[in-house]
Structure formats: C-alpha cells, structure tokens
Amino acid sequence: MNGNALGGAIQNGYEKVNMMDKEPQKKTKKLTLSDIYEIIAKIIFLLCAGVSVFGVCIITFYIFVMGLPAIFEIGIADFIAGTKWMPSAEIFGILPMIIGSVYVTIGAVIIGVPVGILTSVYMSEYAPKPILKILNPAVELLAGIPSVVYGFFGLVVIVPLINDTLGGKGAGSSLLAASIILGVMILPTIITTTKTALSAVPKKYKEGAYALGATKVHTIFTVLIPAAKSGVFSGIVLGIGRAIGETMAVILVAGNSVIIPESITDPVRTMTANIAIEMGYSTGLHQEALFATGVILFVFIMSLNVVLHFIQKKEG
C-alpha cells in the first residue's frame, strides 16, 4: 500500500469517528402518568390474584391438618365405607352421607340441566324483546334469592306436596324434595352461561345451516349447541358445584336421616348438611371427624372437577 492510500484510509477513519461523536444520543424515555397508572394497576391485579390463591391454599391446608388425623385414627376404610354415624359411641361412618350427596346432585342435574339449556335456547333464539325484558330480570332474581328462602319454600310447598302424593319415610322430606330445590337453584348458573355461549356462536354457522335447508330446531340442536358445547359444559360443571356445596336449603327439605336411601322418597343427609348440623356442639374426635368429612368432600369435588375438565378437553 502506498503512502497516499494509507493517508486516505486514516482520513476516512477520522471522519467516521467524528460523525459518530456528532450523532445525537438516544434519550431515555420518561414515564408518563398513564404508564405509572398501568404499573400500579398491574401490581394491584397481581396482589388480588395472589390473595385468591393464598386463601385457597390456607383453607385447604387448615382442613387437611384438622381432618387427616381423625381419618387415620378412625381408619380410612371404616370412615369412608362405614354405614353408621354415632358420635356418642365414637362410630363415624360417612358412606350414607356420600351416597346422599351423590344422589341429590344427580337428581338436581337431571331436573335442572334440561330446563336450563332449553330456557337459554328460548331466550337466545325465540324470545321477543318484551319477553326478554321479563325473563332476564327473573333469572337474575333467581340467582340473588338466599338459599334459606329456597329451603323455606321447599319446606312449606314441596315437602307437603310430596307427602300428599307419594308419601315416604320422611313425610315428604326426602331425596326428591332436595333434588327439586337444588335443580331450581342451579338454573340461573346454567341459563346464564349457556345463553352467553350460544350468543358467541358466529352467525355464519346458522346462516350456513339455513342455506342447506335445515329447520330452525334442527339448526339449534345440530349446529348451535354443538358449537357452544364448551360454554354449555362449563355451565353444567358450575351447576354441579353449586348443588354439591349447598347446605341450608338441603337441611330444610332432605330429612337429614343418616341412612342409605332406597327410593326417592327416603330422607337423606348430605356431607355439607352433616357438617353444618353438628359442628356447633361437637368436641374432640367428633369435631375432627366433621373436619375429616370436609376433607372427603373437598377431595370429591376436586376429583369431579378434574374428570369433568378432562371430558370437556377431550371433546373439545
């Protein structure tokens, strides 16, 4: 390389360095008031979510700590498969309560799910606006009525009606009465969730079915409901959770006898009712056995939710 070429290269290098020095440096972005609000909101949302998770963990931990020792002391088989509940003799078997809870929930689903889905179909596809102005507040009112009011209505209306028509060991206070009341109580959850799911189905699905010559009823049951099955199934799951966890209404109409029901007119006692009835005066092992009942109920509900979620995911 000759001297002129080397000098030119050095000169070009100096010019590039000078140009880089003259380039304006990027300024750091300052936080605006809206950015600060966003950060604060995120922190608040995170704290709220953390409180919810923390609350569930604390409740779960407390129930298991209080209930597991009683299960091991009584014996897992004797506690879960035992058919006698006699706290005075320290005999604690909750099989009748488990069966009662399952039967009552199944009865509520049989009564409430078809009525809830068909009501939501009517509100979504058939009901004119004047009727909707009546139905929407009525459904919201059903959701807001306290459970004790449902139970009182069942006690003074449903129970005597069953006693007069079918009889039974509980003089009307029975598995059937509890199923009817719970079937009505889960209606708002199923109706609201299913109606929202049906409204979210794209209109082109319905228009395509009509273009192929399908009737409205055929379109609803073969196109709309299958397309909204995820939301419909979620409503059913929430309804089942409401039915399993209900206490006060069941206490008033179920009869609360610790027996395995042989017919729909027999009285039953659910696990939630058993805890609520006896917790106020229980002590020692009796109290621990009630906490152990809560452990079994917790495991039962969680297992049911996992199974239903798996079915929903598989079908989805």
What's the mean pLDDT in 240-256? 87
Nearest-angstrom CA–CA distance, 296 and 234: 23
What pLDDT, on a 0 to 100 scale, did the predictor assign at position 118?
A: 92
pLDDT bin (cut points 50, 70, 90) of residue 6 is very low
Q: Which of 1-10, 116-125, 259-268 has the lowest mean pLDDT?
A: 1-10
pLDDT bin (cut points 50, 70, 90) of residue 180 is very high
C-alpha distances out from residue 198 to 121, 220, 276, Å = 8, 9, 38
Instruction: Retrieve residue 270's tokens.
Output: 């659910």
Residue 25 has pLDDT above 60, yes or no: no
CATH of the domain spanning 96-315, picked from 3.40.50.720, 2.60.15.10, 3.30.365.10, 1.10.3720.10: 1.10.3720.10
Nearest-angstrom CA–CA distance, 14 and 85: 95
Residue 28 has pLDDT above 70, yes or no: no
- CA–chain centroid gap for 100, Å, is 20
Residue 19 has pLDDT above 70, yes or no: no
What pLDDT, on a 0 to 100 scale, did the predictor assign at position 17?
A: 47
Q: What is the pLDDT of residues 287-300, one digit of tens each?
A: 899 999 999 888 88
Nearest-angstrom CA–CA distance, 198 and 128: 16
pLDDT bin (cut points 50, 70, 90) of residue 210 is confident
Cβ contacts of 116 within 8 Å, gap of 6 or more: 186, 187, 189, 190, 191, 194, 235, 239
Predicted TM-score (pTM) of this structure = 0.80
3-state secondary structure of 128: coil
Residue 7 has pLDDT above 80, yes or no: no
Residue pair 82/93 in contact (Cβ under 8 Å)? The answer is yes
Residue 182 has pLDDT above 90, yes or no: yes
DSSP per-residue string spanning 28-88:
PPPPPHHHHHHHHHHHHHHHHHHHHHHHHHHHHHHHHHHHHHHHHHH-HHHHHH---EEGG
Compute the C-alpha angle 249/167/85, nearest 5°: 55
What's the mean pLDDT in 165-181? 86
Compare 135 and 23 and report the one with higher pLDDT: 135
Q: Which long-range contacts (C-beta less than 8 Å, at least 24 apart) are formed by 116-122?
A: 116/186, 116/187, 116/189, 116/190, 116/191, 116/194, 116/235, 116/239, 117/190, 117/194, 117/225, 117/232, 119/187, 119/191, 120/190, 120/191, 120/192, 120/194, 120/195, 120/198, 121/194, 121/198, 121/220, 121/225
Q: Cα-Cα-Cα-Cα dihedral of 225, 230, 235, 239, to 10°?
A: 110
- Parse the chain into domains and list their residue ranges: 96-315
What's the mean pLDDT in 92-120? 92
pLDDT bin (cut points 50, 70, 90) of residue 18 is low
Nearest-angstrom CA–CA distance, 68 and 171: 37
What's the mean pLDDT in 150-155? 91
Kind and range of the H or E run holding 92 = strand 91-92
Q: What is the pLDDT of residues 121-140, one digit of tens each?
A: 998 888 888 888 888 888 88
Q: What is the pLDDT of residues 260-288, one digit of tens each?
A: 888 888 999 999 999 988 888 888 889 89
User: Considering only CA atoms, which of 112, 108, 311, 119 is closest in space to residue 198?
Assistant: 119
Compare 171 and 30 and report the one with higher pLDDT: 171
Say how many Å lie between the first and final Cα of the chain, rounded. 74
User: Considering only CA atoms, which of 83, 59, 60, 75 is closest in space to residue 285?
Assistant: 75
By percentage, how much of the chain surpasses pLDDT 70?
A: 90
pLDDT bin (cut points 50, 70, 90) of residue 206 is confident
Residue 35 has pLDDT above 60, yes or no: yes
Q: Which of 30-39, 106-115, 143-152 has the lowest mean pLDDT?
A: 30-39
**Which residue carries 């106020």 as its tokens?**
280
DSSP letter, residue 282 = -
What's the mean pLDDT in 197-210? 85
What pLDDT, on a 0 to 100 scale, did the predictor assign at position 113?
A: 92
What pLDDT, on a 0 to 100 scale, did the predictor assign at position 12?
A: 57
What pLDDT, on a 0 to 100 scale, did the predictor assign at position 309?
A: 75
